[in-house]
Structure 1
Amino acid sequence: MTSTDTAPSDSRVALITGASGGIGKAVAERLAAEGYAVAVHYAGNQQKAETLAAAITAAGGRAIAVGGDVADETAMAAAFDAAESAFGGVDVVVNAAGIMILSPIASLDLDDLDRMHRTNIRGTFVVSQLAANRVRAGGAIVNVSTSVTRTQLPSYGGYVASKAAVEGLGLILARELRGRDITVNTVAPGPTATALFLEGKSEELIEQLAGMNPMNRLGEPEDIAETVAFLAGPARWVNGQTIFTNGGMA
């Protein structure tokens, strides 16, 4: 299969990590609406993942819930196995699982740093490594970073360090997959109205962050899912890129 005869979306299969909520959930819903069979991955919230998979199935789509720690290669290999067993293969992998703990660098608890790096760096690496060996020709790997790698907001140091590593990983993997007809890209959302982002923030701070782009609002998970869907399917000539999806935030 070449980039000119990529399979239609109704025959494609996507595995989305962190799909029980936030951006991952919106991606699963968007790809399912476009005809993809989706493996809805969860780490800790099985009920939410199963509810989403059931809702997609009830609407006429194809979905299963798959669990596992993204940083555990055995658990994630089993998640790929489940998707392949249910749907015949995997064409698209979206690394949406992530955690964010904010603190000035000078006072960040190193255990918190290790937690972020285990999920955000090792988790993305483990899933990307599996994807590199198992995604079918014509497929796509989409990682999720953050626009804060460019805006340098205080208190985001540990989180940005982990996400900058995600961007670097994608750049290299895209080139290592030469000849495989698999694209690798990274989406870097700006402030987006998810539980991960909103937790612990005052209304004043949220309003301030929403005003950082000329659209004068927070992004919605569906805004990010739109870009992911583009990279997952029709964007065959976009490869090895980081797409800042933030409404024009400087």
Structure 2
Amino acid sequence: MNANKHIITIVISLLVAYIGFYPIYACNKAPIEQYTRADSKELVEQQISVNAIALGLMDILFFYDQETEESTALHKSQAMGGQLTNIEDIVPIIKFLTTDGWWINGQTIFADGGYTTR
């Protein structure tokens, strides 16, 4: 990559959620946080920022056959407005990280309406 570029990895915030039923997902996605930190240090001299955005649950990315009406309602109840994340909620964050937020580096930003907290 050329200097002054950005790497943004998209994950779902379940990687840190303290909730049953998804431990394998969390174990598989957790290394992304370490990758983000490690690569941000490796690429800092080239002025390449590396960040991750942990989305809240989304209909299009998450709900598989094992979900029930009750589990869907539970997930919705855990975030602001009782709703799942929409892609429109995330686009401004990506734009910010690639423009005015260029100084943010090595972070996992949880944009999930409060579904998880850190």
Matched, 1:205 2:74: no
| RMSD, matched Cα | 1.5
Q: What is the identity percentage for the equivalent residue pairs of Structure 1 and Structure 2?
A: 30
Deviations 1:94-125 (A, max 9, x none): xxxxxxxxxxxxxxxxxxxxxxxxxxxxxxxx
Q: Contact 1:145/1:164 (CA < 8 Å) preserved in 2?
A: no
Aligned length: 115
Secondary structure of the residue aligned to 1:219 is coil
Structure 1 position 179 matched with structure 2 position 50 = no
Check conservation: 1:185, 1:242, Cα contact below 8 A. Answer: yes
Contact persistence 2:7–2:48 (CA under 8 A): yes
Cα deviation, residue 141, structure 1:
0.1
Cα distance in structure 2, aligned partners of 1:181 and 1:187: 19
Of residues 166, 171, 191 in structure 1, which corresponds to 2:32?
Answer: 166
Q: Give TM-score scaled by structure 2 length.
A: 0.87
Query: Do the aligned residues in 2 keep the contact of 1:145 with 1:167 (CA within 8 Å)?
Result: no
Residues in 1 aligned to 2:40 and 2:46: alpha-carbon distance in whole angstroms: 10
SS at match of 1:193: coil
After superposition, the C-alpha distances for 1:168-213 in whole angstroms (9 at most, x for unaligned) are 101000001121111000001111221x312222222212101102
Name the structure with the higher helix share. Answer: 1
Residues 1:222 and 2:88 aligned together: yes
**Structure 2: segments with no counterpart, 5+ residues:** none
How does 1:189-200 map onto structure 2 within 5 Å?
A: 189-194=55-60, 196-200=61-65
Kept after mapping to 1: 8 A contact 2:56/2:115: yes
Three-state SS of the structure 2 residue aligned to 1:248 is coil
- List runs of 5+ in structure 1 lacking aligned partners: 1-134
Would you say 1:246 and 2:106 are equivalent positions?
no
For 1:246 and 1:147, how far apart are their aligned partners in 2?
7
- For the residue of structure 2 that corresponds to 1:192, the secondary structure is coil
- Secondary structure at the counterpart of residue 145 of structure 1: strand
In the TM superposition, structure 1's runs of 4+ consecutive aligned residues that sit over 4 Å from their partners are none
- 2:13 matches 1:150: no
Separation of aligned partners in 1, 2:99 and 2:22: 32
Match of 1:56 in 2: none
What aligned pairs does 1:8-157 form with structure 2 within 5 A after superposition? 135-157=1-23
